[in-house]
Chains A and B, each alone.
Chain A
Amino acid sequence: MIASILDGVFSGLSIGSILLLAALGLAIVFGLMGVINMAHGELMMLGAYTTFVVQNAFKAFAPGLLETYIFFALIAAFFVAAIAGLILERGVIRYLYGRPLETLLATWGVSLILQQFVRSMNWVLVVAIALFCLLFFGGKWLLQRQAQFQQLRGWANALLITLSAAITIALSTLLSQAFGLAVTKPWFGAQNVDVTAPAWLRGGLPMGNYQLPYARMFIMALTVLCVVGIYLFLQRSPWGLRIRAVTQNRSMSSCLGISTQKVDALTFALGSGLAGIAGCAVSLLGSVGPNTGQNYIVNTFMVVVVGGVGKLVGTIVGGLTIGVIDYIIGAGVLALLASSIKPVADFFIFFSSTSMAKVMVFFLIVVFLQFKPAGLFPQKGRSVDA
C-alpha cells in the first residue's frame, strides 16, 4: 500500500515536472503580455528535433563524445527555440498587443505552419526560404535608401513580394529537377523520430521491487535547475527586475524609461527557449513527431490557469499538483485505496486510465476555479479588468 502511494507520488512528480518545465515559459510570457502562445507546443517540438539533430551530428562527427551530447543538445535546443520565438514575437505578436484572442489565433496559425514545416523540411525548402528572405529584405533595404520610398511603399512591397516569390519558386523548381531526390527528400518526414538517451540515462535506480528511471530523475533535476535559474534571473538580474516591473504595470514601467519592447522580445525569447529545453527533455521519454507539441499544450494551459498569473510559485505548485493528481487517478491508486467500499472503487476504476484521468482532472479544475477563479496565487491589484 505504502509502496504504491510512494510510486504514485514519484511518478506523478516526474509527470508534473515535465508539465512544469513546459508551462514555465508559457506562464512567464502569459503573465507579462497576457498572450497565450498556441505555438508553445511546436516550440517544444523544435527543441526535440534539435536534440535529434545534435545527437546525429555527434554520432557522425564525434562518436567519442556521444555520451555527453545531451548537454550540448540542451543548449542548442534552448537557442533554436529562443530564436524561433524571437522571430515569432518580432514578426507577428508585437502587432497584436492588447488583442489576446487574435494573438491566440495567429499563434495557432504559426503552430500549423511549424508542424508542416518539420514534416516537409528539405534542402529545397531551406534554400527557398533563405533566398526569399534575402531577396525580399535585401531589396527592401536597398529601396529604403531611395528618397521616394515612402511614396511608393505599397507598390514597392507588392512588387518585391511577387518578384522574390517568382524567382524563389522558379529556382527551387529548377533545383529540385536538377538534383532530384537528393534535395527534395524530407529530412524528418511525417514519421516520428527516436532520440536514444545516453547510456548513463538508461535503466534506473532499483528501490525494492520498483525502479526509478534515471531519465525521469534527470528531467526532475533539470526542472529544478531551470526553476532556480529563472527565479534567480527574475529576482537578481537587472533584466529580471524590468520583466517583473512590466508584468506588474506596463504603462508605469514605460513611463519610467524601461523599454517595454525590448522586455517583451527578451521575455518571449526566454519563454520559447524554456519550451525548447522542455522539448529536449520530452525527447528522452519517447519518440517525437510533428504532433508532439499538441499533446502538451492543453495540459500546460491548465497549469497556467490553475497556477494563476504573475507568480512563479503558482506555476510550480500547479504543475506538480496536476501531475500527481493525474497520475494517482490514472494509475488507479485511489481505486486501490477505496477497494473496501465497492461503489466508490468502481467509480474510480472507471476513471483509472490515462485518458479518463484527464476527464476527472478537468472536472476537478473546474470545481477548483469555482473557489479560486484567478488561480492559486493571483496577483493582487486594483484594476477592474483583471
Chain B
Amino acid sequence: MTVQLGSQRQGLDDTKRRILVEAGIVLAIALFLILVMPALLPSFWLNSLGRFLALGIVALGIDLIWGYTGLLSLGHGVFFTLGGYALAMHLKLQIPPTASIQLPEFMSLYGVTELPWFWKPFYSFPFTFLAIAIIPAIVAGILGYLIFRNRIRGVYFSILTQATTIIFFNFFNGQQKLFNGTNGLTDYKTLFGLDVNKPAAQSLFYGLTILFLVLAYALCRWLTSGRFGRLLVAIRDDESRVRFTGYDPTGFKVLVFAISGALAGIAGALFTVQTGIISPNSMNIAFSIEMVIWVAVGGRATLVGAILGTLVVNFARSLLSVKFPDIWLFFQGALFLIIVLALPNGLMGWFREQGRDLFLTLSGQRRTTTYPSLEEDPEVEYERKNLGD
C-alpha cells in the first residue's frame, strides 16, 4: 500500500517536473524571441516574424479542431478577419478631438453622417479587447451548434465552413458604408496614444504577439493533455463509440470550435496591427485552406508542429514569391500533394517516427536491433541476400 502511494507520488512529481521543464523551454524560446531576435534580424524580417508568429496562433486553433478533434474547418479565415476588424474598428475610432468630422474618413466618402450603432462600443478599449476573442467565438459557436447538433460531419462540415467564408466575404465586400467594402480598414493612427507606425509601437506588438502565442500554447497544452484532450481524440477516432459510451460530442465539438475561433480572432487582431490593413480578402477560400496546410506541414496533433509549420511555410513563401512569383503556386500545390501523400504526419511526425532513429543510427549511438533467432535462420539470410529487406 505504502509502496503504491509512494510510486503514485513519484509519478505526480515526474509529470510536474516534465511540465516545469517544458514551461522552462517555452519561456526560454519566448525570451530569446523577444530579447535576442530584434538584434539579429533586419526590421523587415522582424516584422515578418511577428506576423507569422501571429499566424501561428491561428494554426494552434486549427490544430485543436483538426489535429485533435478531426474536424477540418476551412473557415478560419472568417474568425481571423472578424478579430482583425474588431481591433481595426477601435483603431479607426482614434480620431483626434480636434477633427471636424468625428467619423472614420471613409464613411464621409460614402455620405454616412452618423456612426452606425454597432461601431459605438468600439470606442472603449476593454470592449474591443473582449470582442476580438468573443465575437469570433460566438460566430463559431452558433455555426458549430447548428451544424453539429444534426451530426453533420466530415466533408459536409468542411464544405459548410468553406461556404461561410464566401458568405462573410460577400457581406463585408458589399457593405461599403459600414466597412469600406473591398478596401478594408487601413491607415491606422494611434493605439493607447502611441503612434502605431513607430518602431516602438511595432516592437510592443511583437512582444504582445509572443505573449499571446505563449498563452495560446499553454491553453492548448492544458486542453489537450487532460481528460478533455483524450475525449477530443476519441471524437476524432471514433465518434460513434464516444456516443455509445454515454457522452454527447456536440457540446464538446461546439466548445472546441468556439475556442479555436477565438484563437483565430486574437491572431487576426495581432496580424492586422502589424500589417496595417484588414480587408475582406483575408476571407477568401484560399487563405483558409492555406492555414490548414501550415498545420499539416508541421504535423497535426502536435502543438509545436503547428507553430513550426506556420513559420516554415510562410518564410518559404516570402522567399520564393519575391524571387519567382510564378513558381509559388506550383510549389504550394506540390506542398499540398507531398504532405498528404508522403508525409501525412508532417515534419514533427516524421521526426518522431523516423528522424530520431535515423539520427541515432547515423551518429552511431544505436545499432539496428534484430532478433538473434532471425540472424541464424538460413532462410531469412537467403531472403535478405536476394530480396532485400
Query: CA–CA, A362 to B333, complex, Å?
Result: 29
CB-defined contacts of A106 to chain B, threshold 8 Å = 336-337, 340-341
| B166 proximal to A (CB < 8 A) | yes
Interface size class on chain A is: 35 or more
**Residues 127-167 (chain A) with a chain B CB within 8 angstroms:** 150-152
Contacts of B326 in A (CB 8 A): 116, 119-120
CB distance from A139 to the nearest CB of B (A): 20
A104-B72, A150-B388, A358-B166 as given contacts; A109 in contact with B158, CB under 8 Å: no
State whether the Cβ of B184 lies closer than 8 Å to any Cβ in chain A: no
| A36 with B341: CB separation less than 8 A | no
Chain A contacts with B in 65-105, Cβ cutoff 8 A: 92, 95-96, 100-105
Which of B170, B285, B334 is close to A294, meaning CB atoms less than 8 Å apart?
B285
The answer to the question of B293 belonging to the interface, with a C-beta cut-off of 8 Å to chain A, is: yes
- Which B residues, 149 to 163, have Cβ-Cβ distances below 8 Å to chain A? 149-152, 154-156, 158-160, 162-163
B49 contacts chain A at the CB level, 8 A cutoff: no
If A359-B171, A369-B150 touch, whether A104 touches B334 (CB-CB below 8 Å) is no
Asked if B387 and A105 sit within 8 Å, CB to CB, the answer is: no
The interface-forming segment of A17-25, A214-222, A297-305 is: A297-305
Q: Does B174 contact A (CB under 8 A)?
A: yes
- Determine which of A100, A151, A353 lies in contact with B155 in the assembled complex, contact meaning CB atoms within 8 Å: A100
Q: DSSP class of B's interface residues: helix, strand, loop or mixed?
A: helix
- In the complex, the answer to whether B336 meets A105 with C-beta atoms within 8 Å is yes
Q: Is A207 interfacial (CB-CB < 8 Å)? A: no
- B289 at interface (Cβ–Cβ under 8 A)? yes
Instruction: Confirm or deny: B44 has a beta carbon within 8 angstroms of a beta carbon on chain A.
Output: no
Q: Would A112 and B154 count as touching, CB distance under 8 A? A: no
Q: How far is the CB of B213 from chain A (nearest CB, A)?
A: 25
B163 engages A36 (CB within 8 Å): no
Among A92, A95, A103, A298, the residue within 8 A (CB) of B285 is: A298
Distance A95 CA – B344 CA, assembled complex (angstroms): 12
A116 touches B171 (CB 8 A): no
**Chain B neighbourhood of A297, CB < 8 A:** 285
Does any Cβ of A come within 8 Å of B146's Cβ? Answer: yes
Known pairs A110-B333, A112-B332; A151 contacts B388 (CB<8 A): yes
Contacts of B54 in A (CB 8 A): none
A36 to B161, CA, bound (A): 14
Query: What's the minimum C-beta distance from B389 to chain A, rounded to whole angstroms?
Result: 9
When distances are taken between beta carbons in the complex, the residues of chain A under 8 Å from B72 are 101, 104-105
- Shortest CB-to-CB span from B320 to chain A, Å, is 13
Q: Within 8 Å of chain B (Cβ to Cβ): is A108? A: yes
Q: Please determine whether A362 and B330 come into contact, CB atoms closer than 8 angstroms.
A: no
B167 within 8 A of A: yes
Main secondary structure of the interface of A (DSSP, over half): helix
Q: Which of A109, A116, A355, A369 contacts B170 (CB 8 A)?
A: A355
Note all chain B residues with C-beta closer than 8 A to A120. 326
Query: Are A373 and B150 in contact, with the CB atoms below 8 A?
Result: yes
Chain B 313-334 against A: per-residue CB contact (8 Å), 1 yes, 0 no?
0000000000000100110111
Cβ-based interface call for A34 (8 A): yes
Instruction: Return chain B residues, CB-CB under 8 Å to A362.
Output: 163-164, 166-167
Known: A108-B289, A356-B170, A359-B170. A113 touches B158 (CB 8 A): no
Whether a CB of chain A sits under 8 angstroms from the CB of B7 is no
Is A126 located at the chain interface by the 8 A CB criterion? no
Set of chain A residues within 8 Å of B330, measured between Cβ atoms: 112-113, 116-117
B260 within 8 A of A: no
Determine whether the beta carbon of A116 is less than 8 Å from that of B333.
yes
Interface string of B156-192 (1 = CB under 8 A from A): 1011101110110011011000000000000000000
With known contacts A116-B330, A305-B160, A95–B154 Cβ distance under 8 A: no
Report B119 CB to chain A, min CB distance, Å: 18
Contact in complex: B166, A112 (CB < 8 Å): no
B residues within 8 A CB of A116? Answer: 326, 329-330, 333
CB A202 to nearest CB in B, in angstroms, measures 31
- With beta carbons under 8 angstroms apart, the residue of A34, A109, A150 that contacts B333 is A109
- 14 A-B contacts (beta carbon < 8 Å): A36-B158, A36-B159, A95-B341, A101-B158, A104-B158, A106-B336, A112-B336, A113-B330, A150-B387, A298-B159, A301-B162, A302-B163, A366-B143, A373-B152
Known: A30-B155, A302-B159. 20 other contacts (CB 8 A): A92-B337, A95-B341, A102-B340, A102-B344, A103-B340, A104-B155, A105-B336, A106-B340, A106-B341, A109-B332, A112-B336, A113-B333, A151-B388, A294-B285, A297-B285, A298-B163, A355-B170, A358-B167, A366-B160, A385-B240
